[in-house]
Amino acid sequence: MKRLSLYLLTVVILLVLLAACGETAATTTATTTAATTVAAVTTTDATIAATSGNVINPSNTATVSLLNTPTVSPTIYTATTATTATATTIVIATNAPLSASPAFSELIRTLSGHSDAVISVAYSSDGKTLASGGLDKSVKLWDVASGKLLNTLNGHSDNVRSVAFSPDGKTLASGGSADGAIELWDIATGKLLNTLNGHSGFVKSVAFSSDGKSLASGSLDKSIKLWDIATGKELRTLSGSSDFIMSVAFSPDGKSLASGSYDGSIKLWDSATGKELLTISGHSGTVTSVAFSPDGKSLASGSEDGNVKLWDAASGKLLNTLTGSNYVMSVAFSPDGKSLASGSDNSIKLWDIATGKLLNTLSGHAGFVYSVAFSPDGKSLVSGSADKSVKLWGLR
């Protein structure tokens, strides 16, 4: 009789929880409309079986914690929990799957080969090759799948501070030498194609236009130069900056160019005419990195003041400030534009663009992270550091 009473009591508790399910689930996430699955388990880490649509399937389990924080799992559903007097955990799963997010990440491998700090890293457009440049005066090409070193490109007389692949993945540009030279390399053969001369100081940044026909370079000589890739000739010089140019980036449509300066300012330029369009102020330290969002509507900047700032690319209006870092050295948007990576003090931070919230911190480097870049499919991230290593991270 007592067992029957206990059973009935348990059923009543379940019915009460089901009745309140819609209200509870609605507070879990703005996109939740109803609770669709209830499962009773007795483990401290609540486990439910779920697939898209929350259909129970024992062969596909997803895990959630009691604090409503998902563990590292590619298929997870938001959940709330309640505990009965008998310590049975009730998991209420909603029909709101988490979107793919770089909050779930892991170190895939570490690439070693540089003899000094790695200052710049880049993915090829097909995601199969990595390039890294460093203070050892070399550029290295790596196979992403295996981590194998494919080639070492030697030719710079000084540090390599920036590397960039052409959109078709056939050419690599590298700059950094004190003589202001920029080297263009054939990826397939490793041969030097051309040397672009014109800067009178260190080249801090190089970037290809989206059509691959032009290259922009920013230098400590306080100028930005645009080059014709086919001929190697200088197209124009963008003058007007009062301090060192630390970073340059083309907008996705190639019509605009952004530059970050040592004095903390950001400038937007018309790439066709060289006319200065806008000057943005807000950082209290050197702007080390600038990047356009994939849709070209936003601009991100990283600074030695420890902040990442998001700006409206058309008006220059400040949209958000992401704090919590020291000496931000590099920023990069994910291909879908929903996330941002920033490299700073021994770590990489991953941010949600819509909310400005920190999604995750990737730790593993033993020195400053100078450069970060997303793979074209957004499933991995590469970082270069003062610890002489290149690290490849998997994002889920």
* Beta sheet of 380-385, edge-to-edge order: 105-112, 389-395, 380-385, 369-374
| Of 395, 336, 396, 385, residue with least CA distance to 110 | 385
Q: What is the pLDDT of residue 80?
A: 34
Using only the alpha carbons of the chain, give its radius of gyration: 25
CB 330 within 8 A of CB 288: yes
Q: What is the pTM of this model?
A: 0.75
The Cα 174–Cα 154 span in angstroms is 11
pLDDT of residue 180: 92
* Contact in structure between 36 and 95 (CB atoms under 8 Å): yes
Where along the chain do its domains lie?
A: 2-97, 105-395
Q: Residue 302 has what pLDDT? A: 97
Which residue has 């209420």 as its token pair?
92
Task: Give residue 324's pLDDT.
Answer: 84
Architecture of domain 105-395: 7 Propeller (2.130)
For CA atoms 67, 68, 69, 74, give the dihedral sign: positive
Walking along the chain (396 residues) 10 residues at a time, the average pLDDT comes out as 47 43 34 31 30 30 31 32 31 34 76 97 98 96 97 92 97 92 96 96 96 97 96 94 95 97 96 95 97 98 97 98 93 98 94 96 95 97 98 92
**pLDDT on residue 12:** 41
Task: Give yes or no for a contact between 241 and 259, defined as CB atoms under 8 angstroms apart.
Answer: yes
pLDDT, position 35: 31
Please give the DSSP secondary-structure letter assigned to residue 64. Answer: B
What is residue 239's predicted lDDT score, i.e. its pLDDT?
Answer: 86
